[in-house]
Amino acid sequence: MDYEKIIHTIVDPILINPSALMVRELPNDGEADVTLLIVAESEDTARLIGKKGSVANALREIISIAGKTENKRIHLKFESFDEEEK
């Protein structure tokens, strides 16, 4: 299943700069676990997390339901990148 596509479909409309969104699968020890790293600009990362993590929890719930169709546990990690001009 293409979890990256699912995440893009859900979060692109709420981001200021959706073209800067990066979703990568991180290597895991177990076959049943998948960790996805979601990296966006700092303001967009704040939107993805939401107040008290409400948006992040909703995303985790949706992705976990998608993962259950393949008997996988999906973990989401959020990070932001800084755009520093040197």
Tens digit of pLDDT for each residue in 52-81? 999 999 999 999 999 999 999 999 999 998
Task: Confirm whether 86 is domain-assigned.
Answer: no
> Does residue 2 register a pLDDT over 70?
yes
- The pLDDT, as a whole number, for residue 86 is 34
Task: Confirm whether 15 is domain-assigned.
Answer: yes
User: What is the pTM assigned to this prediction?
Assistant: 0.86
Number of domains making up the chain: 1
- The pLDDT, as a whole number, for residue 83 is 53
Q: What is the CATH number of the domain that holds 45?
A: 3.30.300.20
Three-class DSSP labels, 16-75: CCHHHCEEEEECCCCCCEEEEEEEEEHHHHHHHHCHHHHHHHHHHHHHHHHHHCCCCEEE
Q: The domain containing residue 72 runs over which residues?
A: 3-81
Residue 41 has, within 13 A of its CA and on its CB side, a CA count of 12
> Does residue 85 register a pLDDT over 70?
no
- The pLDDT, as a whole number, for residue 41 is 94
Task: Confirm whether 62 is domain-assigned.
Answer: yes
Q: How remote is the C-alpha of 68 from its chain's centroid? A: 17
CB atoms within 10 A of CB 63: 22
Tokens of 82: 């800084």
Q: What is the pLDDT of residues 5-36, one digit of tens each?
A: 999 999 999 999 999 999 999 988 778 899 99
